[in-house]
Amino acid sequence: MEVNDMSDLHEEGKNAINAPMLPTGMDIHPEDTLLEENAERIMLDPTSRENLKFKDLLKVLIDWINSELEEDRIIVKDLEEDCYDGQVLQKLFEKLSGRKLNVAEVTQSEIGQKQKLQTVLEAVNETLRPHGWSIEWSVDSIHSKNLVAIVYLLVALAMHFQAPIRLPEHVSVQVVVVKKREGILQTALVTKELTSTTEMMLGRFERDAFDTLLDHAPDKLNVVKTSLITFVNKHLNKLNLEVTELESQFADGVYLILLMGLLENYFVPLYNFFLTPESFEQKVHNVAFAFELMQDGGLKKPKARPEDVVNLNLKSTLRVLYNLFTNYKNSE
């Protein structure tokens, strides 16, 4: 038997020993057998790639990057192939942060790409770490096109810089972790949570009455909604307007602005807002303007972000309306 044949037989035997531990549909990669002792490699489980919420998350992130980098004429189609060399991540971070990073514009060599990634990720980590973000990415994981690490990074950037997008909530994927212990490859499936709720990701961990209400007393939620609908219609009816759905009818900001005018007894000039907003940005402008009117009226700045209301976040909309209710419930 030739030496090469012996080597092939050895590889077959090793793969046969390890194969029973592999998740279905996952193949041993040749580089796995070259792992150093106690080293590990992480890859996305193939079934997770087909997860609809995960696909939706990827699409939202790609559309967001392309919108942000439109002026740079950068078009991202595939996060793994387009983000690994640091070029897109550099441009994105510079646009979001307003900082110019001292890196080479185009780098073809692996060393050059990793140096660029090192500079970009150091700047990203310096920005995110003080705000409690867990750093789930590294130069090696991004450069090796680890999609989970890339998504973790992009989600953190989107939430930290309050991107005007709605990320799908509670997106989890399974990753295969391959480790080498005592010369033998061991594999395990691990669940990774890529997004939780918008509020948790924004770091708003303080609980309030609405958290308790939504979590523990959904039956009482309808009572609160009915009271709020009665309150807003009492005033909006003066303009022959009526609300039946709290979540959707305040999302473009128009009713909020008109309601503030009615409550404070003034006419809001139509040039101050979009009466028939069409784009996401126009709706955010309207809700933000309504928030300014509330603060002008002596109310505290709403906890919710304008984007939350535009994105039909019920809890955020309820908070805003309840704040108005407690301050103006006796107004005629």
Give the residue extent of every domain in the chain: 3-202, 206-326
Check pLDDT > 60 for residue 23.
no
Name all contacts of 212-219 with Cβ < 8 Å and 24+ positions apart: 214/314, 214/315
d(CA 273, CA 224): 29
Least confident of 148-152, 215-219, 317-321: 215-219
Least confident of 28-42, 61-75, 135-149, 318-332: 28-42
Nearest Cα residue to 83 out of 128, 148, 145, 127:
145
Instruction: Judge if pTM exceeds 0.85.
Output: no
**In angstroms, what CA-CA distances link 32 with 101, 136, 141, 193?**
35, 21, 15, 25
Highest mean pLDDT among 126-130, 151-155, 204-208: 151-155
Mean of pLDDT over the chain: 82
Which pLDDT tens digit goes with each residue over 177-210?
888 887 788 888 889 888 876 655 554 434 456 6
Domains 3-202 and 206-326 alike in fold: yes
Residue 311's pLDDT is 87
CATH 1.10.418.10 for domain 206-326: yes
Among all chains, which residue has been given the structure tokens 């750093």? Answer: 135
Superfamily for the 3-202 domain:
Calponin-like domain (1.10.418.10)
d(CA 314, CA 329): 21
d(CA 1, CA 231): 89
CA 157 to chain centre: 8
